[in-house]
A and B are shown apart, each in its own frame.
Chain A
Amino acid sequence: EAGVVQSPRYKIIEKKQPVAFWCNPISGHNTLYWYLQNLGQGPELLIRYENEEAVDDSQLPKDRFSAERLKGVDSTLKIQPAELGDSAVYLCASSIYPGGEQFFGPGTRLTVL
């Protein structure tokens, strides 16, 4: 069974440019999470989806970050415009239900120059 798929794996952009990350969760997993992992830190939740509904986006900086999961399957996280401080790894995870085991993808490493 395929795990959580994320693309791209690496992205280098200049500040003020837009960037988007894509995640395809494990088949049948209704809950999808986006986490931000800064260097030397543990992941921090940005947003959680139950099917296509964002049920916890309290940690998402809404002035520049947006996310969508239109059909309740794959999801896109966007930053516009990117800032230097956005350089980090963006992890996607999925679980069958909210309290279930979360399976993480390999992440997208973003570098903003």
Chain B
Amino acid sequence: GQQLNQSPQSMFIQEGEDVSMNCTSSSIFNTWLWYKQDPGEGPVLLIALYKAGELTSNGRLTAQFGITRKDSFLNISASIPSDVGIYFCAGQLGAGGTSYGKLTFGQGTILTVHP
């Protein structure tokens, strides 16, 4: 099935560094979301973006919905050890079809933070 293009695939950083990851799609989405998945758990929503050009923050996390509606990025500032995990972007279509609510995910970015 379709997956979004997410990069980088993995990152190894030192505690305190900033992190940036992005996601692109050949299709337009109405909503962009960023999730974090810890080992043995399901994804947990970090940030949701609903409008092209929107810039949203959640603590040390900042995400933007691209103007073209085909891309998004996530920044994490001043990383800490508990930021370790797999980060996924996801696009969601709007109402009006059988695919309403369906999430299309990227392949994930594995983040490792060295103390």
Interface size, chain B (Cβ < 8 Å): 28
User: Are B107 and A40 interface neighbours, CB within 8 A?
Assistant: yes
User: Are B101 and A43 interface neighbours, CB within 8 A?
Assistant: no
User: Are A43 and B1 interface neighbours, CB within 8 A?
Assistant: no
B103 in complex: contacting residue of A41, A43, A97, A106, CB < 8 Å: A43
A28 to chain B, nearest CB (A): 16
A62 to chain B, nearest CB (A): 15
Residues 89-113 of A, flagged 1 when their CB comes within 8 A of B and 0 if not, give 0010101011111111111000000
| Complex interface: chain B residues within 8 A of A107 (CB) | 40-42
Stretch at the interface among A12-20, A51-59, A72-80: A51-59
User: Are A91 and B42 interface neighbours, CB within 8 A?
Assistant: yes
Tell whether A41 pairs with B43 under 8 Å between CB atoms, given A98-B95, A99-B92: no
A101 in complex: contacting residue of B3, B41, B45, B108, CB < 8 Å: B45
| Complex interface: chain A residues within 8 A of B41 (CB) | 106-107
Judge if A85 is at the interface, Cβ distance under 8 Å: no
A58 in complex: contacting residue of B31, B44, B98, CB < 8 Å: B98
User: Are B107 and A41 interface neighbours, CB within 8 A?
Assistant: yes
Interface size, chain A (Cβ < 8 Å): 29
Tell whether A42 pairs with B88 under 8 Å between CB atoms, given A56-B98, A95-B101: yes
| Complex interface: chain A residues within 8 A of B92 (CB) | 99
Residues 1-37 of B, flagged 1 when their CB comes within 8 A of A and 0 if not, give 1011010000000000000000000000001000000
A-B contact pairs, 28 of them (CB 8 A): A4-B42, A40-B107, A40-B108, A41-B105, A41-B108, A42-B3, A42-B4, A42-B90, A42-B105, A42-B106, A42-B108, A43-B43, A44-B1, A44-B105, A45-B102, A48-B102, A55-B98, A56-B99, A93-B42, A98-B101, A99-B31, A99-B94, A99-B95, A102-B101, A102-B103, A104-B43, A107-B40, A107-B42
